[in-house]
Amino acid sequence: MSRVLLIEDDPAVRRGVVLGLSRNGHETEAVGTGESGLEALAAFKPDLVLLDLMLPGMSGLEVCSRIRATSRLPIVILSARTDDVDVVIGLEAGADDYVVKPASVALIEARMRAVLRRVAPSPSDTGADAGRVTVGDLDIDRSALIVRKRGAELALAPSELKLLLFLSAAPERTFSRQQLLEDIWEHSYYGDVRLVDACVMRLRAKIEEDSRHPVYVQTVRGFGYRFGPLPA
């Protein structure tokens, strides 16, 4: 069971979600503003943040960026608008996933579970996951879940780390975005592929020398993404 910090301005939604999550055994703290949410981080030490984007005062996007600046805490956006660019911006700002309101507690829990699962299922069943791999400047420690670039540890958000581990476990194999959605985010095949794109973008910003000419996470146009091969 997890400790969940809910940042949501609507009291009814706050009460409903807290009620639903608490019944399922989660320890839930709910606040109404971004400012109090940031304050509660230190005191409550949540495992995950559920974040509404439409907040009075400090916006949800701002809260998202502030949390990401200092921590790898899993963030799931609670969005009231589906096609809104805000969701994409939120994902680009570092959120790991999003849920569109109105959503049942079962769905919110499923998203939380997926994000909190520390390691994505491996694309291959070789069992060679464990151990350290060095690819170019990257040093990927699968058991410790640490990625270093030229010796310096990278602060990867949960979804970024999972994506990198998943892709690098099967180098040079192309995965479609839908497939990545199913395996890493545990969404349905028809989920929002913008999740994948936003995550790839964030990951590249952290591991690549030049995000516009990536060598680690490469785009295979029309098909999806693959890890490597590195240019000779």
Task: Between 69 and 190, name the residue whose CB sits nearer to another protein.
Answer: 190
CB–CB of 117/110 below 8 Å?
A: no
Interaction between residue 31 and another protein (CB under 8 A) = no
Q: Which stretch binds another protein (CB under 8 A): 114-122, 127-135, 159-167, 190-198?
A: 190-198
Tell the smallest beta-carbon distance from residue 92 to another protein (Å): 16
Interaction between residue 173 and another protein (CB under 8 A) = no
Tell the smallest beta-carbon distance from residue 15 to another protein (Å): 7
Tell the smallest beta-carbon distance from residue 222 to another protein (Å): 4
Task: Between 136 and 191, name the residue whose CB sits nearer to another protein.
Answer: 191
Tell the smallest beta-carbon distance from residue 69 to another protein (Å): 29
Tell the smallest beta-carbon distance from residue 82 to another protein (Å): 8
Tell the smallest beta-carbon distance from residue 104 to another protein (Å): 5
Phi, psi of 89 (to 5 degrees): -60, -40
Interaction between residue 172 and another protein (CB under 8 A) = no
Using CB under 8 A as the criterion, what x/- string covers residues 195-224 for binding another protein?
Answer: -------------------------xxxx-
One-letter amino acid at 190 equals Y
If DSSP codes are grouped into helix, strand and coil, which group holds residue 93?
coil
If DSSP codes are grouped into helix, strand and coil, which group holds residue 124?
coil
CB–CB of 47/72 below 8 Å?
A: no
CB–CB of 167/220 below 8 Å?
A: no
Task: Between 72 and 101, name the residue whose CB sits nearer to another protein.
Answer: 101
Q: What residues from 63 to 82 belong to the interface with another protein (CB under 8 A)?
A: 80, 82
Interaction between residue 25 and another protein (CB under 8 A) = no
Q: Point out which residues bind another protein (CB under 8 A).
A: 10, 12-13, 15-17, 19-20, 23, 80, 82-83, 101-106, 108, 176-178, 188-194, 220-223
